[in-house]
Structure 1
């Protein structure tokens, strides 16, 4: 046996042993460890499914929670805006009441300075309200309503601003008629602001609320002009004691025209014709004069004037229209306080077109001012 034969023999035996081992095991490796049974595998799958389901539920709850918070926040912002608009328009409405209270007592030149100061303050209020509206936090759903709100408040500010510039002229006899017409035109602007708010702003706010499922939210009404008669120049002129020219360019209507002065009083005390009348001079007294249309025609822009004899002190009031057979009352405030002393005070219903007899238009009273 050679050296190489001895070396190959053990190697051959080892290979033969390996083949036998493989044959006895069927050619497969023995398992490396214990294997799961069928029930264990099923439990594992179930546990994993439960875990995944739990994760999905948590995610859904988070999404729903976030959405619910967003909806709640949106609804709160819509309600807050609606409430802010209501508060602001209520302030503006009150400003309107204040303005018309001021203008209703405008007759008499002695009120000019005080009235101007009051109306200027009212103008500042309208400016402040417009600025507040511009600073509101506006949800996207309320953008249209916000634009209409700003327009309405801007119209109110501009209208009051124009009226404020006419106060002195309206109380001045030289230009009172023109100023009264201008003021009446600005009243139309103020009334239009009511239309803008009522027909556009409020419906836009309601629509946005309903779109979000919000019902029953109170919506403030917006009424700045309390009496639409302020839109007529004759009514404004009467409040300011201005006389507008007659609108008719033709002859007076057929029939009797005219008025009769019935009586006058001051602070509820009737003045006596030919008797003794004592009145305080300060503040300038207001005469309540009663007169009747004793003609056969309707009359317009009827002027009642009170004059303190021997002075330039007087006052007048205008009644826009009178009807035959009806009685009317004119409030006439003197332009200033008369000096202490005795005077003859004359109260007159001035002649109207077509009036031929005016002897019953006037009453005179001896008055001592103190």
Structure 2
């Protein structure tokens, strides 16, 4: 008999159908992933790809065409939502306005007829975990937006579900509140983990930053399938496909041609490739803004002449938009300045690509 512990959530070869035109964005195919207790998984994908549909299928709110869903080793595929040991939180938290903060958090325990002493103990611990100790008697209408989200999280976790499902929990929030709620999700999940009853947390999002900051692993959903499943650092450094790189939004691309030796030629030079590509075939070179170095003159070694067509200022620094002089038909490129003196718009400069930071994909 194996002593291996079953994951909190296991999804095996799941198919979920949606849409009205067969074969055209008509569903999720062959979705397989396991999430351990205390682990946070982000499902990242563009709008309309089926992220919320997947979450609803896990919760028992959408029909499954094929495959299996297991919670702590038990098959729940055919069970109704209330018997799956999951909690599903929508984008906007809904609180009982006629109940106090403590009464809201205690509600799932009252439904289960947990003893009064246990209710008090668990509600107190949950409110401490979300930094709302002392607000037990406050009414929901007296809370800030961030506090309301914290109450909803405390209520979701106080019943100690095996799985917590979050549907775009940060999408409708302004930047300040977004940071607060993101922190609350991590805080309350870490607190539950310290007490050895943290659920598997699955959140869906279209925001790359939310996925990277909140998740232990990220499942990238494209064209109805998981295109990549990896830790955030691995995902951002090594997207598995060109589609994943485009979704991350941090990569820019140039067309390339495969040489006889397997390397590829692009407008910024020759790039070694680990991909197996046919000589003479078209390819794509992908790289981030920080892989480009802007130099004052184009005659420096490895630099390619470029014309500055714009400067973009962001909270974390400035970047320049460049047009390559030797390849006028290629896309504009953007390079971080990293403390360098910005050339003026219209000026000629040199741009060099850090070859090791470039990725090569089939066209």
TM-score bracket for this pair, using the shorter chain length: under 0.3
Which structure has the larger Rg over C-alpha atoms?
A: 1
More helix by share: 1
TM-score by length of 1: 0.23
More strand by share: 2
